[in-house]
Amino acid sequence: MNFNRLRVVANNVFAETIRDRILYVWGLFAIIIVFIIPVIREVASTVEDKILLDVGLGLMEILGVAVTVFISTGLINKEIDQRTIYLLIAKPLNISELIVGKFLGVSAVLSILVVGMMGLYLGILTLNQTSYPSLTALMISALFLILKLSLITAAAILFGVFTRSLVALFLTFGIYFIGNLSADMVKLNALVETPLFSRLSQVLFIIVPDLSRLDVKNLAVYGMNSLPGAVTLTANAGYGIVYTIALLALATIILAQREF
């Protein structure tokens, strides 16, 4: 795998995504937060700070996932539909470099998107004189959101190599929703003694990534003391990275077997 070729593919995806005005999501994020502050203040004045923290971090994830899915699911299909994949593969560029390069380009955009939203978020909190327990905890939450979005990007690319863009879009959203609930389904399985549900929950837990391991936003609003220890955080981050690599490897294998 050649680093220079990876960089070229990643830069092209990055430039194209920026050109599509994806980063205008920053503006949407800021507008929603600014408009929602008076509402929160009106209906929940006693717990305003806590709710605003929850809403801000939750909105970051919702917008991040939406951007991730709509960008990533069509990355490969667009090359196939426009017949440009023939030119790419004809060049000294192998399929793994194409997959990884596109993944890195999208991940760079998502990282900038999350960092920008977090910067706006902290600025609005400061102007609103909203207290938050720990800046470090919020930064860790942002980092884990980037890891989660990167994993979802890899899943979207995987679905995009063997399905149409619309199908890949629904499958990726499905992975996101089920992945956030898979751990809860296993816990529910212990309470519901139904063989079918038991088998289904076990299969989903094995196949679908456990995205709850990359979700620390609900704990971050309470400060560093509420977050898991360094060992657990590192293990969860490693889980996300390994799963992402596995999805990209599978996407590479499937695309290599396709006939264009």
What single string gives the DSSP state of each residue in 119-176? HHHHHHHHHTT---S-HHHHHHHHHHHHHHHHHHHHHHHHHHTTS-HHHHHHHHHHHH
Find, among 251, 20, 22, the residue nearest to 157 by Cα.
251
Q: What integer pLDDT is reported at residue 20 of this predicted model?
A: 62
Q: Rounded to the nearest 5°, which phi and psi values hold at 210?
A: -80, 90
pLDDT in tens, 109-119: 999 999 999 99
Query: Average pLDDT of the chain?
Result: 85
Tell me: pLDDT of 125 over 90. Answer: no
pLDDT in tens, 186-198: 666 666 666 666 6
* Side chain identity at residue 136, one-letter code: T
71-85: average pLDDT: 76
pLDDT in tens, 38-59: 888 787 766 777 888 888 999 9
Tokens representing 225 are 């003391």
pTM over 0.85: yes
The CA-based diameter of the chain, rounded to the nearest angstrom, is: 63
